[in-house]
Amino acid sequence: METVNGEREYPFCEIDPEECKGCHLCVSSCPAEVLEVSDNLNSKGFHYAEYKGSGCIGCGFCFYMCPEPGAITVYLKDYEPGKAV
Ligand code: SF4
Ligand code: SF4
């Protein structure tokens, strides 16, 4: 993960490999082209999607395109659980 002064660079996207079913809708929907298909397989045999590590603009397209609840989380700089941003 890319860091700035030792801290994570916001916004960023996180994908849980085990929740991913390898449809790659997120990869094709990302306007910043910062998602890619991993060479690795998860335990179900899917080539999961992964974040390249920088360049996310926090648009959330990947989150809304993903059919698997919980597979993708997009972290925005000022996000706090339960607080609207
Ligand atoms: S859209 Fe969701 S299930 Fe499909 S590849 Fe991306 S993270 Fe995996
Ligand atoms: S939030 Fe937008 S820019 Fe960031 S990884 Fe998802 S689709 Fe790409």
Residues 25, 35: Cα–Cα separation, whole Å: 10
Distance 26 CA to ligand 2 centre (A): 8
Residues 7, 23: Cα–Cα separation, whole Å: 31
Q: Give the residue whose CA is nearest to atom 8 of ligand 1.
A: 20
pLDDT for residue 74: 96
Among 19, 24, 47, residue to substitute to test ligand 1 (most atoms within 8 Å of Cβ): 24
Nearest CA-CA partner of 16 in 85, 66, 79? 66
Q: Where are the beta strands (DSSP E) in 9-64?
A: 12-15, 35-41, 47-51
Distance 63 CA to ligand 2 centre (A): 8
Does domain 3-75 bear CATH number 3.30.1600.10?
no
Q: Work out the angle at residue 28's Cα, subtended by the Cα atoms of residues 59 and 72, and round it to the nearest 5 degrees.
A: 55
For residues 40 and 3, the model is more confident at: 40
- Each domain of the chain, given as residue ranges in start order, spans 3-75
What is the pTM for the complete model shown? 0.88
| pLDDT one-digit tens code per residue, 6-51 | 678 899 999 999 999 999 999 999 999 999 999 999 999 999 999 9
pLDDT for residue 37: 98
> What is the total residue count of the chain?
85
